[in-house]
Copies of this chain bind each other. A is one copy, B any other.
Amino acid sequence: MRRTVLKFGGSSVSNIEKIKDIAIYLKNRVEEGEQLVVVVSAMGKTTDELLKQVNSITKTPNEQDLAVLLTTGEQQTISYLSIILNDIGVRSKPLTGYQAGIETVGHHLKSKISKINSKLFDQLFNTYNVLIVAGFQGFNTDNEITTLGRGGSDTTAVALAAAQQCPCEIYTDVDGVYSTDPRIYPQAKRHQVVSYEEMMEMSALGSGVLVSRSIEIAKNYNIPIYLGKTLSEEKGTWIMSTIEMIEKKAVTGVAIDKDMIHVTLNYPENNTQLLDQLFMYLEKEEINVDMISQITSNEGLQLSFTMKDTEEYQIQKIFGQLKEYYPALYFKIENRFTKVSVIGSGMRDMTGVASKVFRTLIEANLPFYQVTTSEISISYVVDLENGEKAVQLLCERFDL
């Protein structure tokens, strides 16, 4: 029997009416003979409301406690969806992260999936046609409830598909992967298919459709992912291995990341222990930094990097701790920059692409402050107010 994992995000399940529409869609697919694993997020703004309540208590909630709280959001969605499905005659069962056997390791709020019991699903499909799994959550070896952090429900879905060796369909309010954000460049084209690698760059660089860890899992297990708009007739985008892709374009997309902060650190002497300790703290807090650049001169040490603005609180805390050991430490956190990246899995001639980007930005008089490259992308830090303009010019330039 054909099995598929489907994932519906928060805006697709923001109220009971929307959940009912999804239930009817699932019923049709079951009647066509499919076994469905459905992963859902918390309804609409539920998680935000829980966090707001917590914020009224403390700015530094215990992370184990917070995980127990936040997972109730998804638990409510699985219950409602299952109540509706059973009510319209589809044999359905809701499963929390623990019940679905989603074992995790690491931070309570940023856990990584370490193990999934796929036999459990085979057994349950003897009785049920739809198994509804709460996204974003799991449990660790201490039997504690954990959450998977940003994009966690997508990760749940892809990991479940990987464990069962079946395709994964992810439904949101976006109808596929575009060469760039259509709100910035309306002529942007929707891709029918992109490679895992391209998608990873786009995600890591902030285009935001799917977090890189999900794509990494899909790539490792060679699971095709479909990205489409919830209950839409429009064809979305398949993400798959490059081997299965017929044509590889040099440049397939331009991504922009506005949700970043730029961090600069100065210290009067070249102290490698300070750097050691900084990176140890970053690792402990599981903060991903990007575009690191370091200069050591007679005037001492200068280091700068970019990171997600959602983790500003943690980096402030880290600098607070460091200043106890290194009182002369100076640091600056700025959000006046944005990162623009040009991506393409066929991007062999990096310098050719780089020089085209340079010329585009220079001709338009848009200054850039830092450049970093990966296998299939080049990223530029530009002024926040120039970001969208840069995206538009680059899309025109590369005919996206």
In whole angstroms, how far apart are the Cα atoms of A69 and B74 in the complex?
Answer: 10
Of the stretches A50-58, A256-264, A292-300, the one at the interface is A50-58
A60 contacts across to B, CB distance below 8 A: 87
Chain B residues lying within 8 Å of A80, measured Cβ to Cβ, are: 53-54, 57, 69
CA distance A60 to B87 in the complex (A): 8
A62 touches which of B68, B87, B143 (Cβ 8 Å): B87
Which A127-146 residues have a C-beta within 8 angstroms of B? 143-145
Q: How far is the CA of A68 from the CA of B132 in the complex (A)?
A: 12
A83 adjacent to chain B (CB < 8 Å): yes
Complex: how many Å from CA A16 to CA B69? Answer: 14
Dominant SS at the A interface? helix
User: Are B53 and A66 closer than 8 Å at their CB atoms?
Assistant: no
Establish whether residues B69 and A75, one from each chain, have CB atoms under 8 Å apart when the complex forms. Answer: yes
- Contact present for A68 and B75 (CB under 8 Å): yes
A57 x B94 contact (CB < 8 A): no
- What string of 1s and 0s marks CB contacts (under 8 Å) between A3-47 and chain B? 000000000000010001000000000000000000000000000
Choose one: B16, B72, B98; the contact of A72 (CB below 8 Å).
Answer: B72
A179: Cβ under 8 A from any B Cβ: no
Q: How far is the CA of A80 from the CA of B54 in the complex (A)?
A: 7
User: In the complex, A75→B75 CA distance in Å?
Assistant: 10
Roughly how many angstroms separate A48 CA and B69 CA in the complex, as a whole number? 19
Taking a contact as CB atoms under 8 Å apart, the answer to whether B96 and A83 are in contact is no
Instruction: Collect the chain B residues with CB atoms within 8 Å of residue A93's CB.
Output: 64
Please measure, in the bound complex, the distance between the C-alpha atom of A365 and the C-alpha atom of B93, giving whole angstroms. 57
